[in-house]
Amino acid sequence: MTIKDIKQKGLLLFECISGSKAYGLNTSTSDTDLRGVYYLPKAQFYGLDYIPQISNESSDEVYYELGRFVELLIKNNPNILELLASPEDCILYRHPILNRLHINLFLSKLCKETFAGYALTQIKKARGYKKKIVNPIEPVRKSVLDFCFILQGYHSIPLTEWLAQHNFVQEQCGLINMPHSKGLYALFYDTDNTLHYRGIMSSELANEVSLSSIPKGEKELAYLFFNKENYSSYCKDYKEYWEWVEKRNEARYLGNATHGKGYDAKNMMHTIRLLQVAEEILTKGTLQVKRSNREELLSIKAGDFQYDDLLVMADALMNRIEAAYSTSQLTPYPDKEKIEAILVQMREELYG
């Protein structure tokens, strides 16, 4: 089933414009995101082909089956609550039956966890993004050799430097474990390349040093330390960084690079917005999707704020949310039984 099928077969219950245009934060470059609610044909709903959600390839159009929609509303999912509370000028179609799902049925203290909790995860995400911008990783991947060091008295020097000093190549080196010394190895060198040592590493992508069979009587030239923990950490960071580069929104990244503050400004704008919405829900018992502080939020998106100042703003909002939570008149959770009874009535009417 496709979105086109939903509309052609008369299964659409709700459709609206969402995202920045619903928040009142759209600019000339903003896309139009659509969200909606549908119900399945009776045979499909009762049968084995239940489809909870349908979207287009770019996921800028997402539609939820009625039961899934109500399930997420009960969980106080921020995106779905905002969908139900869409501004009238963003609603493209609403079946009369959907009027039975009023926003007041769902708003609860649980919003503290879903709105503010999600915002906190976005702050952590922004910190990670900042780290990636400030500390880019070179495209040429480091190898085991870059994390090996030769002990010299009370000091150590990088293995690559030591090899260059002696005109040695890693392929003619041989290593054996040092007993009771984690990461420490005795290093031998096969000058004539006749002993067939295995080298220090087997390939550029090796995760460990290689060990060799050393003939009796051979004399070690040095002691090598391999910092495996740092190498493993580097490999993880390298993989995450270049996967991020591959998947990142390039236009958004260049915009963030332009303001030069080293953080994802759009991400931080939505973080502050979510925290402000959470405070309003707990203090006023209402959900206002279209924001009244458009200029402030767009200023955050433009990168006009220092990152640390935004963290201070977020902390202040979290403190107010905690205080509002303790005095809020909202129920701890939505009344699931009452809502489920309404859903059953809606389905009975839809399926006749």
Chain segment 291-338, per-residue pLDDT in tens? 999 999 999 998 888 888 988 999 999 999 999 999 999 999 999 999
CA dist., res. 271 & res. 107, Å (int): 20
Sign of the C-alpha dihedral, residues 40, 42, 45, 47? negative
Residue-averaged pLDDT of the chain: 91
pLDDT at 141 over 60: yes
Q: Edge-to-edge, what's the strand order for the sheet holding 53-55? A: 53-55, 61-65, 33-38, 12-18, 91-94
- pLDDT for 195 equals 93
| pLDDT digits 0-9 by tens, 153-193 | 899 999 999 999 999 999 999 999 999 999 999 999 999 99
Q: Give every CB contact of residue 145 below 8 A, 6+ residues apart in sequence.
A: 159, 160, 170, 200, 201
Residue range 275-292, pLDDT digits in tens? 999 999 999 999 999 999
Are 287 and 103 in contact by the 8 Å Cβ rule? The answer is: yes
Q: In this predicted model, what pLDDT tens digit does every residue of 204-229 receive, in sequence order? A: 889 999 999 999 999 999 999 999 99
pLDDT over 80 at 135, yes or no: no
pLDDT of residue 240: 86
Pairwise pLDDT comparison (134 vs 45), residue with the higher score? 45
pLDDT for residue 127 is more than 60: no
pTM of the model: 0.67
Q: Domain-by-domain residue ranges, the chain?
A: 1-106+334-352, 107-136+249-332, 144-229
User: Which uninterrupted H or E stretch holds 35?
Assistant: strand 33-38
How confident is the model at residue 125, as a pLDDT?
Answer: 66
The token duo for 118 is 């999600």
Residue 14: helix, strand or coil by DSSP?
strand
Separation CA 127–CA 135 (nearest Å):
12
3-state SS class at 227: coil
- Judged against a pLDDT cut of 70, whether residue 231 lies above it is answered with yes
336 secondary structure, DSSP code: H
Strand 61-65 to 33-38 pairing:
parallel
Q: Which of left, alpha, beta for 183 (phi over 0: left; psi -120 to 50: alpha)?
A: left
Q: Please determine, for residue 266, whether its predicted confidence score (pLDDT) is greater than 70.
A: yes
Query: Max alpha carbon distance in the chain (Å)?
Result: 92
249 pLDDT tier (thresholds 50, 70, 90): low
Q: What percentage of residues in the chain have a pLDDT greater than 70?
A: 92
Q: Which residue in this structure is represented by tokens 């767009």?
A: 298
pLDDT tens string 56-107: 988 899 999 999 999 999 999 999 999 999 999 999 999 999 999 999 999 9
Write out pLDDT tens, residues 24-62: 999 888 889 999 999 999 999 989 889 999 999 888 999
* Rounded Cα gap, residues 170 and 127, in angstroms: 39
Q: How confident is the model at residue 262 (pLDDT cuts 50, 70, 90)?
A: low
**Contact 39/54 with Cβ under 8 angstroms?**
no
Name 206's Cβ contacts closer than 8 Å, sequence gap at least 6: 143, 144
Rounded to an integer, what distance in angstroms lies between the CA atom of residue 183 and that of residue 200?
Answer: 13
